[in-house]
Amino acid sequence: MTFPISVNVNGQTMEQEIDPRTLLVHFIRDDCRLTGTHVGCDTSNCGACTVLLDGEAVKSCTVLAVQASGHDITTVEGLAPPDGPFTPIQEGFRQEHGLQCGYCTPGMLMAGTALLNEIENPTEEQIRSHLEGNLCRCTGYEMIVRSVQWAAEHPDGIPVEIGEGS
């Protein structure tokens, strides 16, 4: 038995009949064809699947797509327009090398976006505690923290001259 859902994904309404057991992350990746959202652990521990649900960070491997019906979802593809400038957090990850393999990055960007929406100028401790639900196996987190700090310091996202401030 299927169930009709209507989800606003990155500003676009997706209407569909769906098997109720479909996880939000599979709806996003397989039905919306937005593969920026990753599945890391599939057990709600790693945060790679983090998206914004009505502006709040959630792990989309632990939400049913039917639970998102009537709500707004933002994925990593919804951050910057296709040919537009990066958002501050994306630019921050570029400036401060906040990624290596990049697997955790979409989740980090979404959790970081939620953090900066809530706290404009977070302390290092606040950054670390807000990213507690996101695991990275590469960077050792230092560069990720610096990337978020960069974004907080550059709310307009304009990059500094290469070499400056790093």
Partner 1 sequence: MIPAKFDYKPASSAEEAILLLQEYGDEAKVIAGGHSLLPLMKLRLANPEVIIDIGEIQDLSFIEERDDHIAVGALTRHRLVEHSDLLRENVPLLAHAASHVGDPQVRNRGTIGGSLCHGDPASDLPAVVLATRATLIIRSQTGEREVAADDFFTDFWETAVNPAELLMEIRFPKVGDQPWAFQKFSRRAQDWAIVGCAVQHGSNPGIGMINMGSIPVRSSVAEEALRSGNAVIDVASVADEGLSPPSDIHAEVDYRRHLARVLLGRALS
Ligand X SMILES: Cc1cc2nc3c(=O)[nH]c(=O)nc-3n(C[C@H](O)[C@H](O)[C@H](O)COP(=O)(O)OP(=O)(O)OC[C@H]3O[C@@H](n4cnc5c(N)ncnc54)[C@H](O)[C@@H]3O)c2cc1C
Using CB under 6 A as the criterion, which residues of the chain lie in contact with ligand FES when the complex forms? 39-42, 44-49, 59, 61, 99-104, 136-139
Q: How far is the CB of 93 from partner 1 (least distance, A)?
A: 19
Return the C-alpha torsion angle 33, 135, 99, 163, nearest 10: 140
Residue nearest to ligand X (CB): 44
Q: Per rule CB under 8 A, is residue 72 in the interface with partner 1?
A: no
Please, what is the minimum distance in Å from the beta carbon of residue 4 to ligand FES?
25
Selected from 31, 42, 72, 77, the binder of partner 1 by CB under 8 A is 42
Cβ proximity of 93 and 99 under 8 Å: yes
What is the Cα gyration radius of the chain?
16
Q: How far is the CB of 138 from partner 1 (least distance, A)?
A: 18
Would you state the structure tokens that stand for residue 132, as one six-digit string?
A: 């507690």
Q: Which is nearer to ligand X, 7 or 63 (CB)?
A: 63
Residue 37: how many other CB atoms lie within 10 Å: 24
Should residue 62 be labelled a site residue for partner 1 when binding is judged by CB under 8 A? yes
Contact 106, 46 (CB under 8 A): no
Please report, as residue ranges, which positions from 25 to 64 form the binding site for ligand X (by CB under 6 A).
44-45, 62
Rounded CA gap, 92 and 80, in Å? Answer: 13
